[in-house]
């Protein structure tokens, strides 16, 4: 019997390489990851990765940009789900939960942090600034004032840092009090936050 080779559509191949690149950059960061590393993670040749995405910088921009887009899309989905009361704590919690659900993906978190710390590279910095601007603008659509949006974003960034330093694992002393202040109740969001970083172990 003759075998039939089924060719994967280009968009599917691109998506698979982006997923592999996300895993690779999450582990090694921008400076510590090569296109060869991504190719091995994806199970394809290095020239194929370059042919599809161009340089390592182009590939990282696609991965980091996708992470920023996911935040904006998550917040937009809350707004699109129905009326949002800017004075409602329940609606504020819905918006917060949309973000902590993203944090349950440790690769997302690490790519985001690597992108921010690599922003001295002009092209990466441009994506970071544009992403933060869009996120801020999306949150303003809740009806919150700029100070409330600022505090919401700052809280999210603090969660990022606490997760990046494994602060939720056996914290004690002042750090434990900071963790408790950030996640005072053992609710669904707290579980999602604590599980972030374990989801891909």
The 3-class SS string of 35-71 reads HHHHHHHHCCCHHHHHHHHCCHHHHHHHHHHHHHHHH
Q: Judge whether 17 lies within some domain.
A: no
Cβ atoms of 137 and 72 within 8 Å: the answer is no
Provide φ and ψ at 13, rounded to 5°: -65, -40
Q: For residue 25, tell me if it sits in a domain.
A: no
| pLDDT for the residue numbered 193 | 59
Residue 68 domain boundaries: 57-195
What contacts 19, CB < 8 A, 6 or more positions away? 42
Does residue 25 contact residue 111 with C-beta atoms inside 8 Å? yes
Domain-embedded: residue 27: no
Res. 192 pLDDT band, cuts 50 70 90: low
Structure tokens at 79: 């707004």
pLDDT at 183 over 90: no
DSSP class of residue 187 equals: S
Q: What is the predicted pLDDT for the residue at 195?
A: 57
Domain assignment present for 136 = yes
pLDDT at residue 165 greater than cutoff 70: yes
Q: Which residue has the tokens 């933060």?
A: 132
Instruction: Name which of 21-30, 92-101, 182-191 the model is least confident about.
Output: 182-191
Which residue in 167, 198, 196 sits closest to 101, CA to CA? 196
Cβ neighbour number for residue 100 with a 10 Å cutoff: 21
Residue 5 clears pLDDT 90, i.e. is over it: no
| Number of domains forming the structure of the chain | 1
pTM: 0.86
pLDDT at residue 3 in the model: 46
Establish if 86 belongs to a structural domain: yes
Whether pLDDT at 187 is above 50: no
Output the CA angle 135-137-140, nearest 5 degrees.
110
- What's the confidence (pLDDT) of residue 11? 83
Instruction: State both tokens at 128.
Output: 């970071």
Give me Rg for the CA atoms of the chain.
19
User: Is residue 14 in a domain?
Assistant: no
Number of CB atoms found within 10 A of residue 121's CB: 16
User: What integer pLDDT is reported at residue 46 of this predicted model?
Assistant: 94
Burial classification of residue 158, based on how many CB atoms lie within 10 Å of its CB (0-12 exposed, 13-18 middle, 19 or more buried): middle
Digit-coded pLDDT (tens) for 59-101:
999 999 999 999 999 999 999 999 999 999 999 999 999 999 9
Mean pLDDT of the chain: 89
Average of pLDDT values for 45-68? 96
In percent, the amount of the chain with pLDDT more than 90 equals 74
């Amino acid at each position: 019997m003759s075998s039939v080779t089924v060719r994967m559509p280009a968009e599917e191949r691109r998506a698979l390489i982006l997923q592999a690149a996300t895993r690779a950059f999450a582990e090694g960061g921008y400076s510590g990851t090569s296109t060869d590393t991504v190719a091995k993670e994806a199970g394809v040749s290095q020239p194929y990765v370059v042919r599809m995405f161009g340089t390592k910088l182009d590939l990282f921009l696609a991965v980091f940009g996708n992470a920023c887009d996911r935040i904006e899309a998550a917040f937009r989905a809350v707004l699109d789900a129905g009326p949002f009361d800017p004075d409602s704590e329940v609606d504020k919690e819905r918006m917060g939960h949309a973000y902590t659900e993203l944090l349950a993906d440790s690769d997302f978190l690490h790519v985001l942090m690597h992108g921010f710390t690599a922003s001295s590279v002009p092209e990466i910095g441009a994506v970071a600034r544009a992403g933060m601007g869009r996120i801020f603008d999306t949150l303003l659509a809740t009806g919150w004032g700029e100070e409330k949006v600022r505090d919401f974003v700052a809280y999210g960034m603090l969660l990022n840092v606490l997760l990046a330093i494994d602060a939720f694992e056996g914290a004690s002393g002042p750090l434990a009090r900071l963790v408790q202040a950030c996640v005072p109740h053992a609710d669904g969001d707290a579980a999602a936050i604590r599980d972030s970083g374990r989801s891909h172990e």
